Every structure is written in structure tokens, then in C-alpha cells.
């Protein structure tokens, strides 16, 4: 029988251990000895002083006090983040440049008109969501004011500061959502027009460009906002500012995400019901639910995820700052790790933009002018290029900034490895997903074969060889093959 040893930080612990060793086979004796000890511990817990702490109590160190030796020179953390913010402002400019390039692309006037109707409907939707957000914030803001002034006994200025940065965070989520639908409505009609003109490379290139524009805008705006709070807000209240910022962007993202999902389902069902009632196809222009359905797609697939991505990236940053300030006892190391975290974010944002232009050059040389290629290759290559660049440069930047953080010199590559594993997971998960969702997947082919053998449309639509088809009869296979001439629809789309 195994010996039982229980160590307890109370004065009866020694007697208890001796009693337990003496009566190894008697669990009842152990329980009798344990009862008074547990009772005394419970009394100590009840009589103990309760200590409250949260993000608002974070003591973020002075970043100007920490120094970094870079290429023979010395720079403090404050200026390093400031210069990095200017670089991120440049990536914000790249995002706006890509948006303008999409806007310059040609499209038929009828397509532009439909896209404008969709955008105006999305605009109306967002305005309504904005009003709802303000009403909801009035309720939550009242609760926050009561908590800080009534329960936490903070000053009115502190409560006002938290409310202000809550509005800033909520406005950030709202702004990126609006930017997303604007870029999407620009890109949708131009992609459709490129498909009708028989240009498969543009069909892939325009969505890639719009996605990169929205992504860079989202990340760059988030980083600029957080760096402004980190650098220019007084150290004594910066914790409150981050707390308000996180609350605001979480509120905006949750409303836009949930409401967008509900809206897109209602619009989709409405379009289906109109199809049944009036005996017209779901995407028939005579179906009045089509515009609502397209607006719902933007609300559910663009507005919600964009605002959600903004919130996730921001809240993660606040959580990292909180973890560093709470877990690391040394103030100097805290400052260095905070600067390093934001330097990594700057670097990955910049490398994502650079990877797009690298992939663009490779893809244009490889696919431009072709009538058949694999549509999945450009996107997969972009993800791999971005991941490789981010992983390689994260090790270099970590060695440069925190190579001297510990005496053994191992901490920099360990932290860089942790970041690299996260980046690697982000690139491998889509690869595993493609096993089930790719047009080359065995599972997809099995479903296509089952649909062909069991469905009545098998004779009229060779879906096994065509994953996408343009509305005027010009089909695109799963490899981007453009086959049939445009039918006699009566439109001269090429003009």
C-alpha cells in the first residue's frame, strides 16, 4: 500500500501527516483529521481581504526608457514604435491605392448601376446599424459609468476617458465594415464583367486585389489606433484607454456580426419565397428579392467578418499587453516585450503587402493571356509567400530586438518559434480544408457524380467539368477554361 503524505501550510500539518502515516489503511481517520484543517482554511478565506484588479489597473511601462541597439545605433522603444507607425501608414496608403485601381477597371454600365443599387442598400443597412449601435452604447455606457464612478469609485474624468475610447473602438469596427462593402461592390461588378469578356486572370486578380485592400486597411488602421494610445496617452490612464477601446470594438463587431448574419438569412429566404410565389428563378432580375439578397450577402459575408477581424486583432493586442505587464516582473523587460510584439505586427503587416506584389508579378507572368489555369493556385501561392516571409523575418527581427533579453540568448528564438507556429497553422489549415472543398477534391467529385446520377439537371449542365459558369452562357471549368462563345443575349458586353 502506498504511503499517504499531505503537506498543508497550517500549524496542525505535522500532526496530520504523522496520523496519516500511522493509519495508512484508514481513510476515515484521514478524513477526520482533514475536516478541522479544511474548516480553518475556509474561515481564513472568508476573513481575508478581497483584492480587485483588471485591465484598467495595468501599469504599462515608459517605453522611452528602454533602449535597443540596431545596426550599431541606439534607439528607444518610443521612437521605434513611432517610426513603425509611419510605415504602417504607408501600408494604409497601399490599401487605398489598391481600392483606386479596382475602381478604374472597366465594367458595363448596367452592371455599374446594379452595383450602385446594392451599395446604396448596404449603405442604408449600415446607417440603421449605426443608429442601433448608438442606442445600445447609451445603455452600456450608462452601466460603465455606474461601474467606474459608483462601484470602482473612479473620477468622472476617468469614466469619460473610457467612454471616449469605447466610441473610438466602436467607430473603428464600423469604419472597416463600411470600407469592406465599398470595395466589394466595386470589385463584384468588375469581376463579373471580366468573366463575360473571357479574361480568366482578371476573374482571379480582382478578388485578390480587393481582399488585400480590405485586409491591409483593417490591420493598418488597428495598429495605428493602438500605437497612438500606447505612445501619446498618459501612463496613469493608458490602461483605462485600452479597456474602453476593447469594449467599443467588441460591441461594434458583435452587433455587426450578429445582425449581418440574421439579415443575410432573412434576405436569402425572402428571395427564395419570391421565387416560389412568382415562379421566377432566385437570381432572375424580375425577382425583387435579388437586391436584398445581394445586400444580405455583403452584410453577412463582408460587414460582419470585417468588423469581427478588426475586433479580434485589437482585443488580442490588449490581451498580450495585459499578459506581459502581469506576468513579467521586470519593468525593463516588459517594455522590451511590448515593443517587440508591436514590431512583429508591423513587420507582418508590411510583409503581407509585399507578398501580394510578389505573387502578383509571378501570377501575371504565368497566367495572363491564358484561357485555362487552376484558379486555386494564385491564392494558395499568396498565402505561402506571406507565411514564409513572415516566419523568416520574425526570427531576424526577434534576434535584432530581444537577442540580449536573457543571459543564455535563447529567449528570442523561442518566442519567434511560437509566433512562427501560429503563422504555420494559418497556412496549413486552408490546405487541409482544401482536401474537402477544392474543385480537385475527391469528395467534391463524388458529390458531383451523385448529383449527376440522381438529379434531372445532369443532361443539361455538365457540372462535373464546369465549377463556375457565367450568366450569358460562357462557362468556366474548375481549371478556368473558357469554352463556349457568348450566346445571343442581345448585349454587347465587350464595349
Q: Which of 45-59, 88-102, 408-422 has the highest mean pLDDT?
A: 88-102
Q: For a pLDDT cut of 90, what percent of the chain falls above it?
A: 43
**Quick one: how many helices (H) and strands (E) in the chain?**
13, 4
The alpha-helical segments, DSSP class H, found in 368-441 are 376-402, 411-437
Give the mean model confidence (pLDDT) for residues 336-365.
94
CA distance 89 to 94: 9
Neighbours of 232 (CB within 10 A): 11
pLDDT at residue 42 greater than cutoff 60: no
pLDDT for 267: 79
pLDDT at residue 285 greater than cutoff 50: yes
CA terminus-to-terminus distance, the chain: 91
CA-based nearest residue to 350, from 242, 223, 260: 223
- pLDDT: which is higher, 190 or 58: 190
Cross-strand partners of 74: 69
- pLDDT: which is higher, 418 or 485: 418
CA-based nearest residue to 204, from 332, 69, 376: 376
pLDDT for 304: 84
Which pLDDT band, with edges at 50, 70 and 90, does 133 fall under?
Answer: very high
Which pLDDT band, with edges at 50, 70 and 90, does 237 fall under?
Answer: confident
pLDDT for 478: 43
pLDDT at residue 316 greater than cutoff 70: yes
- 101, 103, 105, 106: CA torsion to nearest 10: -170
pLDDT for 354: 94
pLDDT for 130: 92
Give the mean model confidence (pLDDT) for residues 33-48.
49
pLDDT for 479: 45
Question: In the chain, what are the domain boundaries?
Answer: 13-47, 62-405, 454-495
pLDDT at residue 435 greater than cutoff 80: yes
CA-based nearest residue to 226, from 133, 325, 314: 314
pLDDT at residue 100 greater than cutoff 70: yes
pLDDT at residue 303 greater than cutoff 60: yes
CA-based nearest residue to 181, from 17, 306, 39: 306
pLDDT for 75: 92
pLDDT for 14: 41
Contact 263, 177 (CB under 8 A): no
pLDDT for 387: 94
Collapsed DSSP state (helix, strand, coil) of residue 107: coil
Which pLDDT band, with edges at 50, 70 and 90, does 391 fall under?
Answer: very high
pLDDT for 473: 37
pLDDT at residue 96 greater than cutoff 60: yes
pLDDT for 327: 87
pLDDT at residue 254 greater than cutoff 70: yes
CA-based nearest residue to 221, from 317, 145, 325: 317
pLDDT for 467: 39
pLDDT at residue 185 greater than cutoff 70: yes
Amino acid at each position: 500500500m502506498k504511503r499517504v503524505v499531505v503537506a498543508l501550510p497550517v500549524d496542525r500539518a505535522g500532526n496530520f501527516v504523522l496520523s496519516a502515516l500511522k493509519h495508512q489503511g484508514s481513510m476515515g481517520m484521514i478524513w477526520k483529521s482533514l475536516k478541522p484543517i479544511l474548516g480553518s482554511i475556509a474561515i481564513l478565506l472568508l476573513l481575508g481581504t478581497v483584492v480587485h484588479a483588471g485591465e484598467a489597473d495595468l501599469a504599462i511601462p515608459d517605453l522611452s526608457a528602454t533602449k535597443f541597439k540596431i545596426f550599431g545605433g541606439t534607439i528607444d522603444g518610443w521612437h521605434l514604435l513611432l517610426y513603425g507607425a509611419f510605415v504602417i501608414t504607408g501600408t494604409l496608403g497601399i490599401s487605398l491605392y489598391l481600392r483606386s485601381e479596382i475602381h478604374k477597371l472597366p465594367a458595363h454600365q448596367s452592371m455599374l448601376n446594379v452595383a450602385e443599387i446594392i451599395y446604396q442598400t448596404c449603405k442604408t443597412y449600415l446607417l440603421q446599424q449605426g443608429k442601433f449601435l448608438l442606442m445600445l452604447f447609451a445603455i452600456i455606457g450608462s452601466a460603465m459609468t455606474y461601474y467606474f464612478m459608483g462601484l470602482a469609485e473612479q473620477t468622472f474624468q476617468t469614466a469619460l476617458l473610457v467612454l471616449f475610447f469605447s466610441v473610438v473602438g466602436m467607430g473603428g469596427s464600423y469604419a472597416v465594415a463600411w470600407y469592406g462593402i465599398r470595395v466589394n461592390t466595386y470589385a463584384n461588378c468588375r469581376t463579373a464583367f471580366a468573366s463575360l469578356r473571357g479574361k480568366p486572370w482578371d476573374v482571379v486578380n480582382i478578388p485578390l486585389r480587393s481582399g488585400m485592400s480590405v485586409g491591409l486597411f483593417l490591420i493598418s488602421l488597428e495598429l495605428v489606433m493602438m500605437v497612438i494610445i500606447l505612445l501619446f496617452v498618459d501612463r496613469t490612464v493608458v490602461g483605462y484607454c485600452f479597456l474602453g477601446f476593447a469594449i467599443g470594438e467588441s460591441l461594434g463587431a458583435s452587433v455587426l456580426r450578429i445582425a449581418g448574419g440574421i439579415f443575410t438569412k432573412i434576405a436569402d429566404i425572402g428571395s427564395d419565397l419570391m421565387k416560389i410565389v412568382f415562379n421566377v428563378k432566385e437570381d432572375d432580375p424580375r425577382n425583387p428579392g435579388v437586391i436584398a439578397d445581394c445586400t444580405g450577402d455583403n452584410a453577412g459575408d463582408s460587414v460582419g467578418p470585417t468588423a469581427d477581424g478588426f475586433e479580434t486583432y485589437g482585443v488580442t493586442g490588449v490581451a498580450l499587453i495585459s499578459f506581459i505587464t502581469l506576468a513579467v516582473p521586470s519593468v525593463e523587460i516588459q517594455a522590451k516585450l511590448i515593443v517587440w510584439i508591436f514590431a512583429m505586427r508591423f513587420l507582418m503587416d508590411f510583409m503581407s503587402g509585399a507578398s501580394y506584389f510578389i505573387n502578383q508579378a509571378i501570377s501575371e507572368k504565368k497566367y495572363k493571356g491564358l484561357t485555362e489555369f487552376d484558379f486555386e493556385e494564385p491564392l494558395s501561392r499568396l498565402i505561402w509567400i506571406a507565411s514564409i516571409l513572415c516566419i523568416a523575418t520574425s526570427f531576424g527581427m526577434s534576434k535584432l530586438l530581444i537577442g540580449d533579453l536573457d543571459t543564455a540568448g535563447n529567449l528570442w528564438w523561442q518566442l519567434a518559434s511560437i509566433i512562427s507556429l501560429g503563422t504555420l497553422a494559418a497556412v496549413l489549415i486552408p490546405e487541409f480544408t482544401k482536401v474537402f472543398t477544392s474543385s480537385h477534391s475527391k469528395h467534391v467529385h463524388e458529390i458531383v457524380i451523385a448529383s449527376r446520377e440522381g438529379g434531372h439537371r445532369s443532361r443539361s449542365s455538365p457540372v462535373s467539368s464546369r465549377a463556375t459558369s457565367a450568366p450569358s452562357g460562357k462557362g468556366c471549368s474548375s481549371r478556368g477554361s473558357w469554352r463556349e462563345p457568348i450566346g445571343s443575349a442581345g448585349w454587347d458586353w465587350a464595349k
